[in-house]
Amino acid sequence: MRSPRPTPMTTSNQGVRMQALASVKRIVIKVGSSLLAASPAGRPAAIADEIANLSPGVEVVVVSSGAISLGTKSLGLKDRPDDLPRLQAAAAIGQTQLMRSWEHAFAAHSLTTAQVLLTHDDLSNRRRFINARNALRALLDAGVIPIINENDTVAVEEIKYGDNDLLAALVCNLITADALILLTDVDGLHDADPADGGVRIPIVRDIDSEATPVPKPAKRDGVGSGGMASKVQAARSAAHHGVATIVVAGDHPGVIASALAGHDVGTLFVPPSERINSRKHWIAYGSKPSGQLVVDDGAHRAVADSGKSLLPAGIVKVVGHFEMGELVSLVTSDGTEFARGLAAYSAFELSQLKGLQTTEIEAKLGYKYLDEAIHRDDLVLI
């Protein structure tokens, strides 16, 4: 059974694109192996040019495939290895080449890159998730372009499935992204094989009804291991976090800017409207707080009126027992709850830090995770 044939790009569709991509400030861009294999140096340079020309203030994280493909060539192999040890060896060799290409590409625009290797396991473990999130926030705050890849040298299942598509969707949740762009070698999702007359679907509003059945995962061709099926899966995962996803051909000049401007390029997967603020909704109502932070009037005004993070200096009292990353409520001196958030430190640590300036954190604890007790991205007003 074929997916529903798309309607032409109408004014209504244009409005949907504009609404879904309005006020995008933080983007995850995933680059497929097939694009990099065709031009290992030229494609990163072209993508870096586009990213450098985005509007000021837009933050970008790049999830890049290609390490195994590059390493396979360096090993003198004609085809992608089938056995795990040689896959891991290819990944180890290719990763340095991949990062060198991205480093040179962004250096042309005086932009610094940073290599971040992750596995799905890193993002399923709460403490490692928080540590990765804090590191990425620090990089973005410093104007650095993180280049993320799966740690294929030590990972097992990550090499076999997804080709970084699912990882890119998980990174969206990690950094609270507004949009996910999957750059590939096709111009979007089609209602059938393009070779058989399939037509590109410009907008998918309901993944389960409009993108099912999807094409079967691509056969490994020595380059990538994903396919359109993994991209639809990634779009579904991103939608759960309220993130719009665009699958688009990455070899078209200016395609990133065109996609973000709402032009009719690729396929836009629109997240369900009721889930657009799902993460914030969960913080506000999805779980019972594990503790309370009583704050002074200045901290109350900074959080409630100015949208600031909560700093240790504003904490008067810590109530309850909770670990780093757990949900806590913020209350005023008279006991009125006004916000909830995810604690950057445990109750024990915050009990020692309350009333202190950020410059005193490391001296008090012997280490420092963040300047904030709760980062503004993890705060919701009640």
- pLDDT tens profile 195-249: 788 889 999 988 877 776 555 444 444 455 557 888 998 898 888 778 999 999 9
Q: How many CB atoms lie within 10 A of CB 57?
A: 7
- What are the CA-CA distances from residue 211 to residues 121, 168, 229, 276, 364 (Å)? 28, 19, 9, 20, 54
Strands 203-204 and 267-269: parallel
| Tokens, residue 72 | 């396979």
Residue 376: DSSP 8-state: G
DSSP state of 23: T
Note the CATH architecture for domain 280-381. Answer: Roll (2.30)
- Which residues of the chain, if any, have pLDDT below 70? 1-12, 14, 120, 124, 152-153, 155-163, 212-226, 273-279, 281-282, 285-286
Decide if 91 contacts 80 (C-beta within 8 A).
no
| Class of the CATH domain delimited by 11-276 | alpha beta
Strand order in the sheet with 379-381: 315-320, 291-295, 327-331, 337-342, 379-381
- The residue count of the chain comes to 382
Reading phi first (left if > 0) and then psi (alpha if -120 to 50, else beta), residue 162 is in left
**Phi and psi dihedrals of 280, rounded to 5?**
-65, -40
pLDDT for 367: 93
Amino acid occupying residue 305: D
pLDDT value of residue 161: 45
Burial readout 281-294 (b: 16 or more C-beta within 10 A, e: otherwise): eebbeeeebebbbb
What token pair was written down for 110? 């005086």
What secondary structure letter does DSSP report for 325?
Answer: T
Q: How many CB atoms lie within 10 A of CB 78?
A: 7
307 within 8 A of 321, measured Cβ to Cβ: no
Cis omega (within 30 of 0) for bond into 44: no
Predicted pLDDT at 124: 67
Q: Are 215 and 184 in contact (CB under 8 A)?
A: no
How far is Cα 324 from Cα 313, in angstroms, rounded to an integer? Answer: 18
- Nearest-5° Cα angle at 20, 14 to 23: 110
At residue 221, what is the residue type?
A: D
Distance, in Å, from the CA atom of 245 to the CA atom of 115, rounded to the nearest integer, reads: 24
- Contact in structure between 182 and 231 (CB atoms under 8 Å): yes
Domain ranges of the chain: 11-276, 280-381
| Beta-carbon count within 10 A of 122 CB | 19
CA angle (341 as vertex; 335, 342 as ends), nearest 5: 130
Instruction: Provide the 10 A C-beta neighbour count for residue 13.
Output: 18
Q: What is the pTM of this model?
A: 0.74
Q: What is the pLDDT of residue 63?
A: 96
With a CB cutoff of 8 Å and minimum separation 6, the contacts of 154 are 88, 119
β-bridge pairing 26-31 and 179-184: parallel
Give the pLDDT of residue 214: 52
Closest CA to 340 of 358, 350, 326, 353: 326
249 close to 262: Cβ distance less than 8 angstroms: no
Buried b (16+ CB within 10 A) or exposed e, 164-174: bbbbbbbbbbb
